[in-house]
Structure 1
């Protein structure tokens, strides 16, 4: 597996399929747990058809965390190459000021951490995205 980072605007927009949002709340890392998994992940998800990738970041942050008040900023684009398949996304940072009720969608739990836990959903990808977001 190979992960690469690119400056904003250097990856063709149509290739950007994912938005991942490194989020903090009360100075801690906010991670989520999907209803079908027992592991933790950085909030994010797939871009919908004809959706602006920045709108994807906003939507996913709200849907997966219940964030009501926040500042979100795109920081870079990235690619993940796994075998013959390469996928692209945009990485965001978000500072959450107010959390509301978690929407009844795919996320079962939101939790705060002082560092990334060991039981990550994507242990080969998420630490690299976390390090890049912290830079």
Structure 2
């Protein structure tokens, strides 16, 4: 089987900061057609699905200004430059919710929009958490709740959960042994 791939003929950076690198990339297809594509590259993100012994997920209710909606989602955020990904995922849970996750394990890695965006997303599973003295970040969440997995699925159906990481994690968790 012969494999053909697209050829990058050039890339021009449009804008860049610590959260994003936006470029235009000149592409040539195997049949000779050329075009220019916008490409966004963002740092790796780490999120955590924290499940308690009742198979309830720790979710945050927050406003996302880009879509101008209130939604439920997992705690998570950017991985600092040299930071261990699992450590970053655990740090984000504690900073955003006040809960310290236990027994971190990798759950799934995916790319949310590989046609335009390069942003590895790594979701970890924590089986249990302990409440800490850390106050949740008021800039991150309006509410924090333990929500049963079956209810989280219904929330996806009602579009109360729309973020890719949370949707992927909830559906992945359904395949885990109880």
User: Residues 51 and 69 (structure 1 numbering): CA distance in 2 closer, same or farther, change over 3 Å?
Assistant: closer
Q: Which one of 1, 7, 19 corresponds to residue 46 of structure 2?
A: 19
Higher relative contact order (CA 8 A, sep 6+): 1
Aligned-pair Cα RMSD in Å: 2.5
Deviations 1:63-105 (A, max 9, x none): 1221136222112321111641132121111122422353335
Deviations 1:5-32 (A, max 9, x none): xxxxxxxxxx860111111234212111
> Which structure has the bigger radius of gyration?
2
The yes-or-no answer on 1:103 pairing with 2:136 is: yes
Question: How far, CA to CA, are the matches of 1:125 and 1:77 in structure 2?
Answer: 9
Select the residue among 63, 73, 78 that pairs with 1:46. Answer: 78
Could you tell me which of 82, 89, 103 is aligned with 1:57? 89
Aligned to 1:30: 58
TM-score of the superposed pair, with normalisation by structure 1: 0.72
Partner of 1:67: 99
Q: 1:79 to 1:133 in 2, by over 3 A?
A: farther
Q: Aligned residue for 1:3?
A: none
Specify every segment of 5 or more residues in structure 1 that has no aligned partner in the other structure, as ranges. 1-14
2:167 alignment partner, one of 122, 127, 131:
127
Aligned residues: 120
Of 49-58 and 104-113, deviating more is 104-113
Return 5+ residue gaps in structure 2 as ranges. 1-41
